[in-house]
């Protein structure tokens, strides 16, 4: 019997202003500009499943004027992407057929609990999908069986 259980927190979220104006010519890097923050937290309570259409408070952020820096930090301090939890499991059973011949039956389950792992929310401020999760990061449960002949 084997098992692999994975549990980890989500990645930090990095918002972008959504315009293609950069400050690269001002030697400030070539990254897209960050939006403004009104000083409030964007954190919302509840499970990921109930926050798919509004993962964080999008009203906290606004677009900047062209060629200006926004007030939002590189990553949000109190909002992270959805975490990951997964269980892979396998069972093996050996059957001795003869003195020097063994058959091994194997059963393996990937994502054994069949749990959904949500993708990151849309992080572009001027998108109509801003703050929404529209993707899944994993596959549904997959089972596989096999026979192995050992001699």
Asked whether the CA dihedral 43, 123, 53, 84 is positive or negative, the reply is negative
List, for residues 76-86, the tens digit of each pLDDT value. Answer: 999 999 999 99
pLDDT at 43: 93
pTM here is: 0.76
Mean pLDDT, each 10-residue run in order, the chain (151 residues): 94 81 52 83 91 94 84 90 94 94 96 93 91 93 96 91
Residue 92 half-sphere exposure toward CB, CA atoms < 13 A = 9
Q: Distance between CA 52 and CA 42 in Å, rounded?
A: 15
């Amino acid at each position: 019997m084997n098992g692999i259980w994975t549990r980890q927190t989500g990645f930090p979220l990095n918002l972008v202003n959504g315009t293609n104006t950069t400050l690269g010519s001002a030697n400030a890097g070539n990254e897209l500009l960050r939006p403004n923050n009104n000083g409030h937290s964007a954190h919302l309570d509840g499970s990921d499943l109930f926050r798919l259409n509004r993962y964080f408070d999008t009203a906290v952020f606004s677009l900047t004027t062209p060629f200006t820096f926004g007030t939002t930090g590189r990553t949000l301090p109190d909002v992270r992407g959805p975490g990951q939890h997964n269980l892979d499991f396998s069972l093996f059973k050996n059957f001795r057929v003869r003195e020097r011949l063994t058959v091994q039956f194997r059963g393996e389950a990937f994502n054994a609990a069949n749990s959904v792992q949500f993708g990151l929310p849309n992080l572009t401020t001027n998108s109509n999908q801003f703050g929404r999760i529209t993707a899944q990061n994993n596959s549904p449960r997959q089972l596989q069986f096999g026979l192995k002949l050992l001699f």
